[in-house]
Amino acid sequence: MLYYWMSLIHRRMVKSIRTDIPSIAVGNFSMGGTGKTPLTIFLTHKLKDLNPVVLSRGHGRKDRKVQMVRRRDMDYHLVGDEPLLIHWKTGVPVFVHRDRLLTYRIAKHLLEPGVVILDDALQYWRIDAHVRIALLREEELDGWRVFPFGLYREPIEEVRRVDMVVVKGRYGHGEFMGRPAFSMRYIPSGIFDHRGRKVKKPEKVVAFSGIARNQDFIETLREMGIQVVEFHPFPDHHPYRAEELKPLLDRGLPVITTLKDFVKLRSTGLKLNNFYYLDVEVEISREEEFLSIIRRMIDAE
């Protein structure tokens, strides 16, 4: 609870600003991955007519300056793996810095976007977002406990400060804690090579990943009917080195990873000919209603 009380004090001390341009904050209450970046990508695609830009903290990057991700070949050490992934998937500019109010002002001046999407921003208090979307995992809804006794940063009552809830899993209810609730799941869109070309599904592979829930990745491969001969899990946001991955190539099988991991492989110096990635798309229940609520809240401003 100490973490939460310190966060609450910080929240009350920070002056929160309502941006001139409609903003959408995507985030979660738990430690670890719930699908924030895939949902950010989904929203960016669906709101393309509004000329969106994305603001991200850029977890794990080694540069403290403001960066704008505008090319797929940018060094992920400078911008972070998730901002680079978002740009790969959407083509929209992604501004990266801890101070997202600063990057908002820069984006507004340079690009005049119609909507700003803040990735992983439910605990970023300097911007009072027009729409707040909380991501939860279905299996974590029971036994909600605040850190250090559980996985959550804040008590369950804090859900009431968001506008919408998206539950990763098969959540069948229309609301959660009085907020409109929707379910989200990943749909595999195929296996792709290093040039982004869709390839025939291999029968046997060596796989590796460094995401919040590596088990989700390997289970998806198996559900697709792919035999995973070896699986090598790494920590989330892992900075890969050539000596870690070269032995996987020596197995003589296709080496498959996630797109989030794949965008970091260029920095290893390895040839990417035998590396492949699994790409997924997001499916939201009652999608039309979900997007209608968001657009209505944006238009109301």
pLDDT in tens, 263-281: 999 999 999 999 999 999 9
Under CATH, which number does the domain 2-184+283-299 receive?
A: 3.40.50.300
pLDDT band for 158, please (50, 70, 90 cuts): confident
Residue 10, pLDDT above cutoff 60: no
Cα angle 135, 74, 28; round to 5: 10
Residue with tokens 């229940």: 285
pLDDT band for 138, please (50, 70, 90 cuts): confident
Q: Percentage of residues in the chain with pLDDT exceeding 70?
A: 93
Residue spans per domain, the chain = 2-184+283-299, 187-282
Per-residue pLDDT tens over the stretch 236-264: 999 999 999 999 999 999 999 999 999 99
Of 234, 281, 300, 299, the C-alpha closest to 43 is: 281
Segment among 133-137, 168-172, 198-202, 258-262 with least mean pLDDT = 168-172
Domain 187-282 has CATH 3.40.50: yes
Asked, colleague to colleague, whether 2-184+283-299 and 187-282 share their fold, the answer is yes
> For position 284, what pLDDT does the model report?
97
CA distance linking residue 294 with residue 24, whole number of Å: 9
Dihedral angle at the C-alpha atoms of 1, 144, 159, 135, nearest 10 degrees? 110
Spell out the long-range contacts of 6-12 with Cβ–Cβ below 8 A and sequence spacing 24 or more.
7/123, 7/153, 7/154, 10/125, 11/125
